[in-house]
Amino acid sequence: MVESSRIFTAALVVIGDEILSGRTHDKNIAQIAAWLQVQGIRLQEVRVIGDDMDAIADAVNALREKHDYLFTTGGIGPTHDDITVDAISRALGLEVIVHPDARAILERYYEEKGGVSEARLRMARTPEGAELIPNRYSGAPGMRIANVFIMAGVPAITAGMLDALTGELEGGARLLSETVGSWVAESEVADLLREAEKAHPDCQIGSYPFFREGKVGANFVVRSTEADALAACTRQLSKSLEAQGNPAYPGGI
């Protein structure tokens, strides 16, 4: 019997009034979720909260012990509403310091852009003991303190920070997935899905209906850490869809 490898989990706290007001459409959830999958880490929970000291500290403390990794996005810029570093430091019982390496990075970055003002220096503040996460895009770094990863709110900057972290975090077996699509109402194939999942206990199947081109359809996503089980389950599902007269599209519609 092969011992199954440990599962690594993560949570994400998205910080920002602009998301809660509906003004800004979050892009970091999907981006971080997809990146974590590749690292073999499962995103299990996301919380979106406002620029509020207590809300941030409470969310960080509720999630950092439940998961191997906790990511935050947003609130690390130079303005008065950027309070993430203060809130996380409070949550962890740490002082806020001006990180010397972060200060040096900002001094280089702003050398020909008017120098490091008091506002810009805010972006060198970190919880005491934090390591920096490089930001190849705009100077001001992200931070890692214990299992908490403090990332930017601007998706392009967060993408660069994730890139810098790629391969750095310990993960488990990667969750693999295959998608099969069909122009069928999911209610007509509920039994097929249940049967395919039952016959392959290492797999889960998700059913994602849509309406497009005036027709109903659904994509069925089979997930497993076992490549063989995944292939077998996907095959059974495709065959049983075809047997019912519903052409199955590998890769989804």
Binders in 197-216 for its own copies, by CB under 8 A: 197, 204-211, 216
Residues numbered 49 to 88 that lie near its own copies (CB under 8 A) are: 49-51, 55, 77-82
Name 209's bridge partners.
Answer: 218
* Nearer of residues 25 and 243 to its own copies, judged by Cβ: 25
19 sits near its own copies (criterion: CB under 8 A): yes
The CA distances from residue 62 to 55, 169, 222, 223, in Å, are 10, 21, 31, 28
Binds its own copies by CB under 8 A, chosen from 7, 31, 172, 240: 31
* Nearer of residues 138 and 147 to its own copies, judged by Cβ: 138
Task: Decide: helix, strand or coil at residue 144.
Answer: strand
Concatenated DSSP letters of 193-252: HHHHHHH-TT-EEEEEEEEETTEEEEEEEEEES-HHHHHHHHHHHHHHHHHTT---EET-
* Nearer of residues 22 and 93 to its own copies, judged by Cβ: 22
169 sits near its own copies (criterion: CB under 8 A): no
CB atoms within 10 A of CB 5: 11
Report the nearest approach of its own copies to the CB of residue 227 (Å).
Answer: 17
123 sits near its own copies (criterion: CB under 8 A): yes
